Copies of this chain bind each other. A is one copy, B any other.
């Protein structure tokens, strides 16, 4: 197949490389920057590379791997060059707003979310086998979408992904719980510790913090741009979850205050018994 990948950063570049190495497709890499195109050719991760979006012409699949805010504007620009059967997808970590606008612009638009990545960005961060064993969500609002998604399932599977299919809305609600809410509560842990007014306590806390604090604070101390992007694009689901979290926290505070230790024991027993369902 002829496949175009627009955006050659960590995700787009790594995907291009893995697909090129399969020796079954013709891979066209498109980037806004000529230097990135040249680097892609030098790295051998594409068969052809250019800054010219019209190169999507004749492609069976187009994968938009730009930053999330450029996904829909990029799709709008390539419409004139698409064949009627071309399937277009993206890789953004929030799906409902993208899929809603994408479907308005193109009848064969299906959302993807390969859940792979590192803390690094850009073409210099490109890795081989980045997608091995990573979950990849492919959105489907109905049976028609499921049929259209067949090509994409094969493509993501060919680079090692485990495919999951659901609606864009269920995807966004689920990632709000397991990815976006954790970023905020973890960041608030670090932030709250920093607000301790007694310098001796704050400094002693920093001295004795160990693996428990390290793990609980990890996602809240990560890349600020990624956290901000998640909050902006999945705002409503994140807000709903934050409010539920906040309400439960109030209950816990009241139970600790009232020394309802049976309730605290029940809480910690439930979480101890049910965490395994989230951990594979």
Q: Does residue A196 face the partner (Cβ distance < 8 Å to B)?
A: yes
Contact at B224–A272, with CB atoms within 8 Å? yes
- Nearest to A214 among chain B residues (CB) is B279
- Nearest to A278 among chain B residues (CB) is B209
Contact at B214–A216, with CB atoms within 8 Å? no
How many identical subunits does the complex contain? 2
Q: Does residue A275 face the partner (Cβ distance < 8 Å to B)?
A: yes
* Measured CA separation A65–B268 after assembly (Å): 24
- Nearest to A137 among chain B residues (CB) is B208
Complex contacts, A54 vs chain B, CB 8 Å:
none
Q: Determine which residue in A115, A182, A274 has the highest number of CB atoms from chain B within 10 A of its CB, and name it.
A: A182
Contact at B248–A253, with CB atoms within 8 Å? no
Complex contacts, A185 vs chain B, CB 8 Å:
185, 188-189, 216, 249
8 Å CB interface, A169-185 against B: 170-171, 173-175, 177-179, 181-185
Mask, A244-280, CB within 8 Å of B = 1, is 1110111011001101010011011111101111110
- Nearest to A246 among chain B residues (CB) is B249
9 smallest A-B Cβ distances: which pairs?
Answer: A221-B275, A224-B268, A174-B205, A209-B278, A182-B216, A190-B271, A178-B209, A215-B215, A174-B204
